[in-house]
Structure 1
Amino acid sequence: MSQHTERRVAPSPRGLRRREQIVGAALELFASGGYRGTGITEVAEQVGITEPAVLYHFGTKVGLLRAVVEQHADLSRSFARDAAEVGGLAGIRQIPAFARRSTGEPALIKLFSVLLAENFEVDGPAHDFFVEHYRALRASVVELIEAGQRRGEFRADADPRLKAIEILGALDGMASQWLLDPEGVDFVAAVESYIVALERDLASTR
């Protein structure tokens, strides 16, 4: 029996540009109407193409959803990994830089918040994606804190896993308040203040 090897054809530059256009349109529409409230037809009309053309690039609506959320997730996970590699106090002090960068892309942050809320239930189309995303973020923060403990910068009795949950929860909460009331909430200043308090909390007493 002959064996057939599946060949993957790399997308052309034109195809990559089209994918970027579709993801950009979906980002805006999902952020305003949510995933469930937005149809593939709306995305296609926004780009000026047909619904089959959208599905050609992403296969299904869920495939498009994953491409959209991964755009933000890749950025945040990459930043968390970089901060973890630095570790300790220096790693913690990098967090406000991520907040400053985030203020330049409010639509992406809003989209992520909207889609997260739609996927709390286990049958949500991106539930598993978000579970793994936050597990990866927590793992990076745990690594960062453990590095600080090994260096004697952070107190040894702090639980890195609980602290990771606290830190991510605080950042998400501040981002939500900023998205709701950008005029009344200075996201970067709030994060900077939190990091100062976090350093005091984690500081080694030796």
Structure 2
Amino acid sequence: MAQNRVSARGARRREEIVAVAAELFARGGFRGTGMTEIAELVGITEPGLLYHFRNKEGLLRAVIEWRDHRSQEFARDVASLGGLSTIREMPAFAHRNQEEPGLTRLFAVLLAENLDSGAPAHDFFVRRYREMRDLVAGSILVGQERGEIRPEVDPRLKAVEILATLDGISTQWLLDPASVDLVESIETYARTLERDLARAED
């Protein structure tokens, strides 16, 4: 019983550390945030922090997994609808990101810091985008099989375009939220995309 209490306390402490680190990484980036700063905000020593996470790269992986778990499940649910139904649900991403701007900013900051092949989270982001392209392309294929999406559309190329557009809109919103309406922009894009993809009725 005592062991369970200790484990529960340790799990709560890890969650607290990850939440604080995520906030700091979103503001100052991984490179611009020190372990001492994180430890101080959590209220522990740096050795105490290293007890939970062996090094800064281990903490980065935990932060990314925490953020990714919250977004990937949602993305898979939307993609599972398939075809034009997935396209129509795209604005749900905008609403979700608007409600959690810190998570959206965290992803953008960490992605920019890990473009180089030697960066600690580079491989994660490569895999992440491959998975997202697969999900989007799979949804388009389902729509083609249903006869609702034009057969000449290349699912892989269209997936690249869709993700690039969504990322670009999100980046502009993060930079200038007073001028860029995230939800309206993605709603408009989704309607345009649906018209572009839809197979003409016989």
The answer, yes or no, to whether TM exceeds 0.5 is yes
Letter in 2 for 1:110: R
1:12 aligns to what SS in structure 2? Answer: helix
Which residue does 2:168 correspond to in 1?
173
Letter in 1 for 2:145: R
Distance of 2:192 and 2:120 partners within structure 1:
37
Alpha-carbon deviation of 1:60? 1.6
Distance of 1:13 and 1:29 partners within structure 2:
25
Contact 1:41 1:51 (C-alpha < 8 Å) held by counterparts: yes
Gaps of 5+ in 2: none
Which residue does 2:178 correspond to in 1?
183
Provide TM-score, normalisation by structure 1.
0.91
Is 1:132 equivalent to 2:127 in the alignment? yes
Alpha-carbon deviation of 1:15? 1.5
Which residue does 1:146 correspond to in 2?
141
Provide TM-score, normalisation by structure 2.
0.93
Deviation digits for residues 108-147 of structure 1 (CA, Å, limit 9, x no counterpart): 1111101100100000010001101111111111111100
Distance of 2:46 and 2:20 partners within structure 1:
13
Which residue does 1:71 correspond to in 2?
66
Give the RMSD, CA atoms, in angstroms.
1.6
Is 1:101 equivalent to 2:102 in the alignment? no
Distance of 1:132 and 1:10 partners within structure 2:
36
Alpha-carbon deviation of 1:74? 2.1
Kindly report which structure 2 residues correspond to 1:19-168, keeping only aligned pairs within 5 A, or say none.
19-168=14-163
Gaps of 5+ in 1: 1-8
Letter in 2 for 1:63: G
1:103 aligns to what SS in structure 2? Answer: helix
Identity %: 59
Distance of 2:121 and 2:91 partners within structure 1:
28
Distance of 1:43 and 1:180 partners within structure 2:
25
Distance of 1:10 and 1:116 partners within structure 2:
37
